[in-house]
Structure 1
Amino acid sequence: MHRIGFVVFDGFQSMSFAALSVFESANMMLEQPFYEMHFISEHGGLVRSSTGMVVDSKPFGRIPFDTVIVGGGVSILESAPSGVLSFITKASKKSRRLASICTGTFVLGEAGVLDGKRATTHWAQARGFQARFPGVRMEEDRIFLIDGNIWTSAGMTAGIDLALAMAEKDLGEAIARSIAQQLVVYHRRAGGQSQHSALLELSPKSDRIQKTLAYAKENLHTTLSVEQLAEVANLSPRQFSRTFRVETGQSPAKAVENLRLEAAKLLMEQTRHSVDEIAQETGFLDRRRMREAFLRGFGQPPQTIRRNARVQA
């Protein structure tokens, strides 16, 4: 039995609970209670979230936990209760895994358990975190990070990716993939993936353009000409180009290049595929064209990005 303690405090954000759905789904899939989940707090009893929802919690110290997870909340950005900090310090030494979701990283930082370690948090709070905890290697453009027994994740939904990674480690990739399908989420965003998605930055308004971008992302290995994309949108090439620019602020060609760059960078960082293989897979056709796109987009060639990723790892 893997016992999970989910730390709550006055003003915690209930969106953090989304991560617990991963463990609940694992139990249902296995048809046995592999994970046992508890809400825990400094004094136990009822604890109120930022939305007014109340949960019943057990006090710290009663039972040991395999995994301890601290959720996010605005209320702990400045300072967490002393009892919470003391518990986190002990958990970092006794629990197999200690994790934070979103701004829960601030609790870990204040408890001193992140000193000398790599961590991430919500991108909007990353600079403030780094200024407050200079001894922590903040990597603000990551979905989640693992350093030793410490796991940290970005914004609230990134907690699902973190929990899926835990389930994968405990139960294997096949089970984790099935859990993701059950939850209707992507299995699974890699920890090193950027918090900033090219698709999110484009923010298309209409279903037609959204559908076209989704098609482009799934078919990066093809040419993706304006004519091809316009056919997916059921528009003439001229109408499509005009509508696309109005909705996204970019030309179709520029948007496709950004999608190719995002995919190629991820493959450079997380696989051993050759530069030529990645160029083919992401539609750049050859290493020269991909190198030129990397220099435009990142100011560095692909090999430098791969080398930096390996050094960080």
Structure 2
Amino acid sequence: MATVAIAVTDGMLHFELSLAYEVFGPPADAVKVPWYEVAVCGPEGVRIGNFRLSPDHGLDRLRHADTVIVPGWSDIDVDPPTELVDAVREAHEAGARVASLCTGAFVLAAAGLLDGKRATTHWAHTRELAARYPKVDVDPDVLYLDNGRVLTSAGKAAAMDLCLHIVRLDHGSSVANAVARRLVVPPHRDGGQSQYVTTPVPSPAHHPLAELFPWILARLDQPLTVEDLARQARMSSRHLGRHFKSATGTTPLQWLLTQRLRRAQELLEISDDSVDTIAEATGMGTATTLRRHFNRTVGVPPDTYRRTFRA
């Protein structure tokens, strides 16, 4: 059983802390895989906002974890506690994967874990992160970044996206989707999407594309074009593109490709269909096309992905 240690100390943001515990804590009923053991680690009597928290373990427990989560830091005008920075650095040196949520990136930067790497944080604090830590390549316009054993996310909802990304890496797309359904959040936002999204989860009553999204998802096996989507949405292609950028932070075709690949991941996990059959079912046309996009986006070929998450 893999251990996820959540590092806490005075001044942590309770939203990101609670969010991490919800994702990595008790699993959804649909999850049938060995789950995480969560350890909340910090000094005794931590104050988080108006609350007092009694961690289960001290910060020295971080070095024994498989994954360390550093929630958001409330006061970026002061340096994070030395004991927290040292504990996070030691955990990484011991082999842990370390992920920051929101302004937790300042802790990782202080530990030197972001030197020479792309990193992000809440858009309102990216300039300060770049100014204070010039060795960090700060990207202000992404939801999260994965550098292997060091990951960073933007604020609030993007922290959820990163946590679900970690679950997807460890257990596959179908398990991550099950966790997302339990938490009633969308499972499909990729890290490269923009932080500047006005409507991350369109409301059926208020967003002009709300009816288009389920229409597309029901037709992933079909060769859809931007013109097809615009016609269904009853608007021009240019108008469609503006609404898509506002709602998802990306273009219609990129969003469509992402959904096709997500569906391919699920089918690889839950079915015995051949790669050719899955390519047809997801609108990718041929196995060659699916393999090219899958390998470029997911990082491994479809067959390797299936062996990993069917084991």
Q: TM-score, normalised by structure 1?
A: 0.68
Alignment correspondent of 2:211: 215
Instruction: Check 1:194–1:269 CA distance in 2 against 1; reply closer, same or farther (3 A cut).
Output: farther
Q: What is the distance in 2 between the residues matched to 1:74 and 1:85? A: 15
- How do 1:80-99 residues align onto structure 2 when only pairs under 5 Å count? 80-99=80-99
**1:272 deviation in Å?**
11
**1:199 deviation in Å?**
3.4
Alignment correspondent of 2:265: none
Alignment correspondent of 1:131: 131
Q: What is the distance in 2 between the residues matched to 1:271 and 1:216? A: 13
SS of residue in 2 equivalent to 1:108: helix
Q: Which residue of 236, 240, 243 corresponds with 1:259? A: 243
Q: Deviations over 1:1-38 (max 9, x none)?
A: 11111111112111012122122243754467621112
Q: Deviations over 1:232-290 (max 9, x none)?
A: xxxxxxxxxxxxxxxxxxxx9865331345224745997999xxxxxxx9xxxxxxxxx
Alignment correspondent of 1:23: 24
Alignment correspondent of 1:56: 54
Unaligned runs of 5+ in 2: 217-225, 262-282, 284-295, 298-311
Instruction: Check 1:224–1:94 CA distance in 2 against 1; reply closer, same or farther (3 A cut).
Output: same
Q: How many residue pairs align between the two structures? A: 248
Larger % of helix: which?
1
Q: What is the distance in 2 between the residues matched to 1:267 and 1:76? A: 34
**1:148 deviation in Å?**
2.7
Instruction: Check 1:112–1:227 CA distance in 2 against 1; reply closer, same or farther (3 A cut).
Output: closer
Alignment correspondent of 2:188: 188
2:46 is equivalent to residue 40 of structure 1: no
> Is contact 1:27–1:35 with CA below 8 Å preserved after alignment?
no
SS of residue in 2 equivalent to 1:256: helix
**1:152 deviation in Å?**
0.5
Q: TM-score, normalised by structure 2?
A: 0.69
Runs of 4+ in structure 1 over 6 Å off: 268-273
> Is contact 1:25–1:179 with CA below 8 Å preserved after alignment?
no
SS of residue in 2 equivalent to 1:5: strand
Letter of the structure 1 residue corresponding to residue 23 of structure 2? V
**1:173 deviation in Å?**
1.3
Q: What is the distance in 1 between the residues matched to 2:182 and 2:259? A: 27
Alignment correspondent of 2:78: 78
SS of residue in 1 equivalent to 2:210: helix
**1:216 deviation in Å?**
4.7
Alignment correspondent of 1:233: none
